[in-house]
Chain A
Amino acid sequence: MSTTAIDVHAGHHPKGVLPWIMRWITTTNHKDIGTLYLTFGLLMFFIGGVMALVIRAELFQPGLQFVEPHFFNQMTTVHALIMIFGGIMPAFAGFANWMIPMMIGAPDMALPRLNNWSFWLLPFATALLLITFFMPGGASASGWTMYPPLSLQTGAALPFSIFAIHLLGLSSIMASINIIVTVLNMRAPGMSLMKMPMFVWTWLITAYLMLLAMPVLAGAVTMLLTDQFFGTSFFTASGGGDPVMYQHIFWFFGHPEVYIIILPAFGIVSQVIPAFSRKPLFGYAAMVYATAAIAFLSLIVWAHHMFTVGMPLAGQLFFMLTTMLIAIPTGVKVFNWTATMWRGSMTFETPMLFAIGFLFMFTIGGFSGLMVAIVPADFQYHDSYFVVAHFHYVLVPGALFGAFAGAYYWLPKWTGHMYDERLGKLHFWLSTIFVNITFFPQHFLGLAGMPRRIPDYAVQFADFNMISSIGAFGFGLAQLIFVWLVIKAVRGGPQAPAKPWEGAEGLEWTVPSPAPHHTFDTPPVIK
């Protein structure tokens, strides 16, 4: 009998380097895979971050000081691809893996081997993307959107980048199938859909969006591949093709992608704000419906990314109106979070700070989002730094701050130790100050007429670019605090109780900290 007991835990604390490596490569445990995803996301966040700093270093002053324009374009392109597909999506997949089974009272994900595979595709896919820097012609430099005909001028990197995107998409599709199956089949008895934690809801909806959107991206880039190598002309005008069709197909993926990135952050914030307000989430049902409405609308607004391509008037009006509609469910979300705090009994530990930071700054990104929906005004905003400011507000103090809120919230559950609260608060305040120094001036740059994706600029844009670059370096350095804090919490610190947060609710807080390798082998009872 004792051998069986050892076998069960053999995967957990193996001795020696090779068994340790094999344990992580072969693991099918949702917590291990969650850890892998989160670690990988953090690593990619720094790789993409270094590229952002190359961009900001070059833009510190007018004139070219550090890199050639072609390399600059490679930086903007790969920065985006790495941050989206390597950083933020895997990070949220890590949260899903770690937390969804524990939040719904399931012993593991429904498809553990698929889970292993969907993670282990990622390092190879991103490696494939990154080695293109060393190929003739360098990495892809046509922007993360890879619009033809420009993307067809890419050198040897094109097929490798496309194959990397295929692999990343495959990984996302498998992860989303796994999440859908887990949530629909493995909830503990008594946990009806409308009793699920909000984080599980947002991920369920996100998973459906991923399942709809990722194959479309795969189709778009495959057509690029055949245009380049197999003599088709889907997007080549001289062969009877249509370059604008690529943009329609791409953004049919690309706009849902925006919500694939932000909805899990909505979910995390919907867990954190009630916990630290010691009050239930305001309007739970409305939050679920709002999330579903946002997901639906995200499928019918894609062409607002391409108002300047010369669409018919009716098309422009349609996409303007549907885009403006998104403001309604998004507004409901922001109002409900505020109403959750209203008459609560709030404390401000680091997870709550990041959630409140999210609430304020995501709202700013939402406002500029409403502005870019207004077509005549968008003719001025489009492809300018105003748009850069807009989507970075949604992605950095939006999605990324959501991820930080979740990381601090669940870190005691993952590591069994309380993190250093002082370091956490320092991380929050420095991040908040520098993210605004970085991105707020970019609104002014865009309105004053600075186009995006340029390595050099007219001298009237010099001051705000300098401010923005200083902010970017400050923000980058501040993130090292987070790494140090996580290492400290993994290695030691005060023992975390099963429920370290007074107001936290949910099944994950009923298991000890750190969460044992296997939880809920027998389903819990839901009242």
Chain B
Amino acid sequence: MQMNRKVGAYAAALSVLTAFMSSPAWSDWQLNMPQGVTTISREVYDLHMLILWVCVIIGIGVFSAMIVAIVKFRKDAGVQAAKFSHNTLVEVVWTAIPAVILIALAVPAAETLVRMEDTTESELTVKVTGYQWLWHYDYIDDGVSFFSILDRESNAARRLRSGIDPATVENYLLEVDNPLVVPVDTKVRLLITSADVLHAWWVPAFAVKKDAIPGYINEAWFHATEVGTYRGQCAELCGRDHGYMPIVVNVVSREEFDDWLAENRRPAVTQAD
């Protein structure tokens, strides 16, 4: 009986484990922040790792002290409690050291922040407008503008009990009909606003997250150094379909971008030329 129960427990654990392992996404599971493909995103990643390691090192110190105390100073080991209740020197030291560490962290963080906020000398400006529940992109100097909405396949699969396995849909919930297209090695400035409620434009690979707020025009920028397709999502709760307004950015070569621009230029603008 006992044996059976044990075997049963192992079998259950094993089946749960295989369920995880067989899941199609296991191969690309990710534990950490992406380094991204912009100069700023790499700086942000470095800051993240710096603060993470600082926390890990302090954590090892503090947790070891706690564990040593728990292991050593036990009543059942016959330890008599000491009587001390304070120690001014120690208390001053462990107030001062964290202060120094914090300053050491704040300086590089502030430097990166200053660079992130510098939107000058951009070569391309795109106005991004959030709607419930899609994005609109307007290349304001080039006469190209379009809406960008969750692609049909994801949209069908995402319905309640749709019967479509999300794993069979390519880039489930992270695909749009019309992606934002930008040239590589170019400082792209975004002017972000909203036509209804709050949204937030977030692409982790660029380390850009900025709220889209009605009545405000927020600025953000990125300078992608690698060609590719980068995906993100709306990050500010915006109602029923908040989970269904992805962002896709195609970073392409300069020539490809010019061709794309020429193809998509509005007829009205061509007439005006």
Interface, chain A (partner B; CB < 8 A): 62-65, 67-70, 73, 141-143, 147, 149-150, 153, 237-238, 241-244, 277-286, 308-310, 313, 316-317, 320-321, 324-325, 327-328, 331-332, 334-336, 338-339, 341-348, 356, 359-360, 363-364, 367-368, 370-371, 374-377, 379-380, 382-384, 444, 447-449, 451, 453-464, 466-467, 470, 503
Q: Provide the bound-state CA to CA distance between A447 and B47, in Å.
A: 14
Q: Looking at chain B's contact residues, is the secondary structure mostly helix, strand, loop, or mixed?
A: mixed
Q: Pull 20 A–B residue pairs with CB atoms less than 8 Å apart, ordered by A.
A: A277-B81, A280-B83, A283-B91, A308-B200, A308-B211, A310-B216, A316-B113, A324-B105, A331-B94, A338-B66, A343-B69, A343-B79, A344-B73, A345-B75, A346-B69, A370-B55, A380-B209, A384-B235, A448-B31, A448-B32
B31 touches A317 (CB 8 A): no
A377 touches B98 (CB 8 A): no
Residue of B79, B207, B211 most packed against chain A (CB within 10 A)? B211
A454 touches B243 (CB 8 A): yes
A371 touches B28 (CB 8 A): no
Residues of chain B within 8 A (CB-CB) of A370 are: 51, 55
- B residues 209-232 with Cβ under 8 Å of A? 209-211, 213-216, 218-219, 232
B79 touches A150 (CB 8 A): no
Please judge, given known A-B contacts A283-B91, A454-B242, A455-B243, whether A321 and B237 are in contact too, CB under 8 Å. Answer: no
Rounded to whole Å, the gap between the CB of B36 and the closest CB of chain A is 9
Residues of chain A within 8 A (CB-CB) of B167 are: 62, 459
* CB of B59 within 8 Å of the partner chain: yes
A341 touches B102 (CB 8 A): no
- B residues 22-70 with Cβ under 8 Å of A? 23-26, 28-34, 40, 43-44, 47-48, 51-52, 55, 58-59, 62-63, 65-66, 69-70
B30 touches A278 (CB 8 A): no
Please judge, given known A-B contacts A68-B160, A279-B83, A309-B213, whether A338 and B25 are in contact too, CB under 8 Å. Answer: no
> Taking CB as reference atom, which chain A residue is nearest B40?
A376
Q: Provide the bound-state CA to CA distance between A376 and B23, in Å.
A: 34
Residue from B32, B157, B241 in contact with A69 in the complex, judged by beta carbons closer than 8 Å: B241
Tally the A-B contacts, defined by beta carbons under 8 Å. 301
Q: Provide the bound-state CA to CA distance between A384 and B244, in Å.
A: 15
> Taking CB as reference atom, which chain B residue is nearest A145?
B237
Residues of chain A within 8 A (CB-CB) of B198 are: 147, 149-150, 243
Rounded to whole Å, the gap between the CB of B97 and the closest CB of chain A is 9
Residue of B23, B24, B94 most packed against chain A (CB within 10 A)? B94
Residues of chain B within 8 A (CB-CB) of A343 are: 69, 73, 79, 81-82, 84
Residue of A277, A278, A313, A374 most packed against chain B (CB within 10 A)? A374
B204 touches A376 (CB 8 A): no
> Taking CB as reference atom, which chain B residue is nearest A150?
B197
Stretch among B3-11, B121-129, B171-179, B260-268 lining the A interface:
B171-179
* CB of B273 within 8 Å of the partner chain: no
Rounded to whole Å, the gap between the CB of B85 and the closest CB of chain A is 4
A277 touches B216 (CB 8 A): no
Residues of chain B within 8 A (CB-CB) of A285 are: 86
A321 touches B106 (CB 8 A): yes
Interface, chain B (partner A; CB < 8 A): 16, 19-20, 23-26, 28-34, 40, 43-44, 47-48, 51-52, 55, 58-59, 62-63, 65-66, 69-70, 73-76, 79-87, 90-91, 94-95, 98-99, 102, 105-106, 109-110, 112-114, 116-117, 157-162, 164-167, 171-174, 196-198, 200, 202, 204, 207-211, 213-216, 218-219, 232-244
Rounded to whole Å, the gap between the CB of B61 and the closest CB of chain A is 10
By Cβ-Cβ distance, the 7 closest A-B pairs, closest first, are: A237-B215, A454-B243, A310-B218, A345-B81, A343-B82, A367-B55, A448-B30
B59 touches A63 (CB 8 A): no
Residue of B44, B215, B233 most packed against chain A (CB within 10 A)? B215
Q: Provide the bound-state CA to CA distance between A256 and B35, in Å.
A: 34
Q: Provide the bound-state CA to CA distance between A280 and B114, in Å.
A: 47
B74 touches A346 (CB 8 A): yes
Residues of chain B within 8 A (CB-CB) of A286 are: 86, 91
B34 touches A328 (CB 8 A): no
Rounded to whole Å, the gap between the CB of B134 and the closest CB of chain A is 15
A457 touches B243 (CB 8 A): yes
Rounded to whole Å, the gap between the CB of A286 and the closest CB of chain B is 5
Residues of chain A within 8 A (CB-CB) of B19 are: 466
Please judge, given known A-B contacts A282-B86, A308-B209, A343-B73, whether A460 and B28 are in contact too, CB under 8 Å. Answer: yes
Residues of chain B within 8 A (CB-CB) of A368 are: 55
A63 touches B166 (CB 8 A): yes
Please judge, given known A-B contacts A284-B85, A324-B106, A342-B69, whether A460 and B112 are in contact too, CB under 8 Å. Answer: no
Residues of chain B within 8 A (CB-CB) of A463 are: 20, 23, 25-26, 29
> Taking CB as reference atom, which chain B residue is nearest A449?
B204
A374 touches B173 (CB 8 A): no
Q: Provide the bound-state CA to CA distance between A187 and B232, in Å.
A: 58
A237-B214, A376-B47, A449-B202 given; 18 more Cβ-contact pairs under 8 Å: A141-B240, A150-B198, A238-B215, A282-B84, A282-B86, A308-B209, A320-B113, A325-B102, A335-B62, A338-B65, A339-B90, A341-B66, A375-B113, A376-B40, A377-B109, A380-B33, A447-B33, A463-B26
Please judge, given known A-B contacts A341-B70, A345-B74, whether A374 and B109 are in contact too, CB under 8 Å. Answer: yes
